[in-house]
């Protein structure tokens, strides 16, 4: 990649010819939208009305995008009633012909071109971009903040998704306000995660009264969807983090008046033990080295020693270490012994298919792999409890929620709408498959760099990877270097700082180019080579 590239609004005959060349290479060669020709030039039919932002390597046009405000748009001819799909009261510009030479696609050309064309038309009063993106790059467009609408256009092999982007969402995604920066950092944190544009749009709607029939219907449907998602009988939303949901579980366990066992193989298992202690539960803690394989003989002995109706409480995905516990084996073990299984599934729901049909109680949260905003948690239940006044703090009494039809107290319709939308727009089987492939690829690359991955390969969770750095490489320093390179990783939590650990999370939205770039940046930040 050259040290210096030039970005400008095209204004010369030579630049126009370079535009026609890149247009032909991209939309007649790479994407067969148009027929190829011997001249290797493709002149857009709206060329005389287009304004182009270009990237030049010397005299060669290596990247371009254009905008045009004259109607009808190109998309008007492909989609009837275009304005009916767009937010009202806006001045639109159609953004087209986004193309970057394959040799330059790992740099910052794309966001800088978009920033330039956005600034050009924003200065002329435009506040909405209308575009059609190739289906080969839909995730990239979603990450930019684009909202899809309407049916696909084009022909098989060259299909396009109509989309729009408001100036507010564009600025929120940081690509319209760039001045030489690479754009918004890649969010590879375990929470809060980056959300889809549709989720952001749902969250931005005016709040609804939480006692209204309309909101009740949305909540009822979401409860059913969440329960079916993990094969549970019931689900209950709570306003608060996963810690609130786990406190609610502890309160229910106290009503059983039975002893139990807590598994603690990491930070969040230890937090479950703390929940149990604070609730005054009669329990034993089975602890092991963080990230170590479970001591199954010890677990089997502890479960068999419990009376019928006792309980076992475990984390499914131990976020601190990146370890995924064998939930199916624990479920079978508890069922055979007549022991109630309780599961913290906060970091596993949404990263792997989760079957909680054998769980007595389990917890989840909105702001991790489910793709919503933080602020909602959920408890999955085998049976709906009755209220227990005098025994459980009011807000934690799941019986109060069941008696009130799921909305016992004030609830955020914005958070509910965002979570409901996230559940709807995600292709879950595809997500699970992509995560599994990406996790295996990332694990192999990290180990190839000589970095110590905490979780063993056979127990590694696809949603989070924890790296134990040597003392000579402070995780905080490496994390800051990666932030400067455009990647947000977790290293600030107390338990990570104590152990000099660094975490990469795939719970949110990510792309393959981002992961490849991360590995290269991590190699540079740690002084490693492939």
pLDDT score for 178? 34
Query: For residue range 462-517, what is the model confidence (pLDDT) as tens digits?
Result: 999 999 999 999 999 999 999 888 889 999 999 999 999 999 999 998 888 788 88
Band (pLDDT 50/70/90 cuts) for residue 4 is low
Task: Give the gyration radius of the chain's Cα atoms.
Answer: 26
User: Which of the two residues, 423 and 180, has the higher pLDDT score?
Assistant: 423
Band (pLDDT 50/70/90 cuts) for residue 69 is very high
Q: What percent of the chain has pLDDT over 90?
A: 74
What angle, 0 to 180 degrees and rounded to 10, lies between the N-to-C axes of helices 327-337 and 296-305?
Answer: 30
pLDDT score for 418? 95
Task: Give me the mean pLDDT over the 8-26 stretch.
Answer: 94
C-alpha to C-alpha distance for 325 and 342, rounded to whole angstroms? 13
Q: What percent of the chain has pLDDT over 70?
A: 95
First to last CA, the chain: 20
Per-residue burial over 289-320, b if 16 or more Cβ lie within 10 Å, else e, is ebbbebbeeebeebbeebeeebbbbbbbbbbb
pLDDT score for 278? 97
Query: For residue range 259-277, what is the model confidence (pLDDT) as tens digits?
Result: 999 999 999 999 999 999 9
**What residue ranges do the domains of the chain occupy?**
6-184, 213-425, 428-526
**Domain spanning 6-184: CATH superfamily:** Gcn5-related N-acetyltransferase (GNAT) (3.40.630.30)
Distance from CA of residue 405 to its chain's centroid?
Answer: 30
Topology annotation, domain 428-526: 3.90.1150
C-alpha to C-alpha distance for 29 and 432, rounded to whole angstroms? 32
C-alpha to C-alpha distance for 220 and 35, rounded to whole angstroms? 52
The mean pLDDT value of the chain amounts to 91
Query: For residue range 111-138, what is the model confidence (pLDDT) as tens digits?
Result: 788 888 988 999 899 999 999 887 777 7
Task: Give me the mean pLDDT over the 415-433 stretch.
Answer: 93
Distance from CA of residue 263 to its chain's centroid?
Answer: 28
Instruction: Indicate the CATH number of 213-425 among 3.40.640.10, 2.40.50.250, 3.40.50.300, 3.50.50.60.
Output: 3.40.640.10
Q: Is 47 left (phi over 0), alpha (psi -120 to 50) or beta?
A: alpha
pLDDT for residue 3 is more than 60: no
Residue with tokens 């000589």: 450
pLDDT score for 510? 86
pLDDT for residue 291 is more than 50: yes
H, E, C per residue of 370-431: CCCCCCEEEEEECCCCCCCCCCCCHHHCHHHHHHCCCCCCCCCHHHHHHHHHHHHHCCHHHH
pLDDT score for 428? 93
pLDDT score for 169? 74
Query: For residue range 84-94, what is the model confidence (pLDDT) as tens digits?
Result: 999 999 999 99
Query: For residue range 196-208, what is the model confidence (pLDDT) as tens digits?
Result: 878 888 898 899 9
- Reported pTM: 0.70
Alpha carbon distances (Å) from 212 to 216, 405, 408, 418, 419: 6, 12, 13, 18, 18
pLDDT for residue 386 is more than 70: yes
């Amino acid at each position: 990649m050259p040290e210096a590239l030039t970005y400008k609004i095209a204004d010369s005959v030579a630049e126009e010819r370079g535009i026609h060349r890149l247009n032909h290479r991209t939309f007649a060669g790479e994407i067969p939208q148009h027929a190829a020709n011997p001249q290797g030039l493709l002149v857009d039919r709206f060329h005389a009305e287009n304004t182009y932002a270009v990237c030049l390597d010397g005299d060669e046009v290596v990247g371009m995008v254009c905008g045009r405000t004259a109607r009808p748009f190109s998309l008007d001819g492909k989609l009837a009633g275009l304005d009916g799909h767009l937010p009202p009261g806006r001045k639109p510009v159609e953004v087209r012909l986004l193309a970057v030479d394959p040799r330059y696609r790992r740099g910052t050309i794309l966001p800088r071109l978009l920033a330039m064309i956005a600034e050009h038309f924003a200065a002329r009063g435009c506040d909405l971009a209308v575009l059609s993106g190739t289906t080969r790059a839909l995730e990239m467009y979603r990450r930019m903040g684009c909202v899809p609408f309407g049916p696909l256009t084009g022909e098989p092999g060259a299909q396009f998704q109509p989309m729009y982007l408001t100036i507010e969402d564009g600025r929120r995604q940081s690509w319209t306000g760039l001045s030489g920066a690479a754009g918004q950092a890649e969010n590879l944190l375990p929470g809060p995660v980056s959300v889809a544009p549709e989720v952001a749009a749902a969250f931005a709607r005016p709040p609804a009264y939480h006692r209204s029939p309309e909101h009740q219907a949305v909540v009822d449907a979401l409860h059913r969807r969440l329960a079916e998602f993990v094969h549970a009988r019931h689900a209950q939303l709570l306003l608060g983090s996963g810690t609130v949901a786990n406190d609610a579980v502890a309160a229910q366990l106290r009503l059983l008046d039975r002893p139990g066992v807590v598994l603690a193989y990491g930070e969040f298992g230890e937090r479950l033990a703390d929940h149990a202690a604070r609730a005054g539960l009669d329990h034993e803690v089975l602890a092991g080295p963080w990230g170590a394989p479970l001591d199954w003989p010890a677990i089997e002995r502890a479960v068999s020693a419990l009376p019928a109706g006792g309980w076992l409480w475990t984390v499914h995905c131990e976020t601190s270490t990146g370890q995924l516990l064998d939930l199916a084996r624990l479920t079978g073990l508890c069922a055979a012994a007549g022991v109630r299984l309780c599961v913290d599934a906060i970091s596993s729901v949404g990263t792997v298919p989760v079957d909680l049909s054998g769980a007595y109680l389990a917890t989840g949260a909105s702001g991790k792999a489910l793709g919503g905003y933080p602020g909602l948690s959920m408890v999955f239940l085998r049976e709906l409890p009755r209220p227990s006044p005098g025994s459980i703090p009011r807000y934690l009494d799941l019986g109060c929620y069941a008696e009130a039809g799921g909305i016992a107290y004030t609830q955020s319709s914005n958070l509910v709408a965002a979570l409901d939308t996230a559940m709807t727009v995600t292709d879950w089987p595809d997500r699970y498959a992509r995560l599994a492939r990406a996790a295996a690829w990332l694990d192999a690359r990290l180990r190839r760099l000589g970095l110590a991955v905490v979780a063993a390969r056979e127990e590694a969770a696809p949603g989070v990877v924890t790296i134990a750095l040597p003392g000579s490489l402070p995780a905080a320093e490496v994390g800051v270097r990666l932030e400067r390179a455009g990647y947000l990783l977790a290293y600030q939590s107390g338990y990570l700082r104590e152990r000099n650990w660094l975490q990469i999370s795939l719970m949110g939205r990510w792309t393959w180019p981002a992961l490849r770039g991360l590995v290269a940046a991590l190699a540079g930040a740690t002084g490693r080579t492939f």
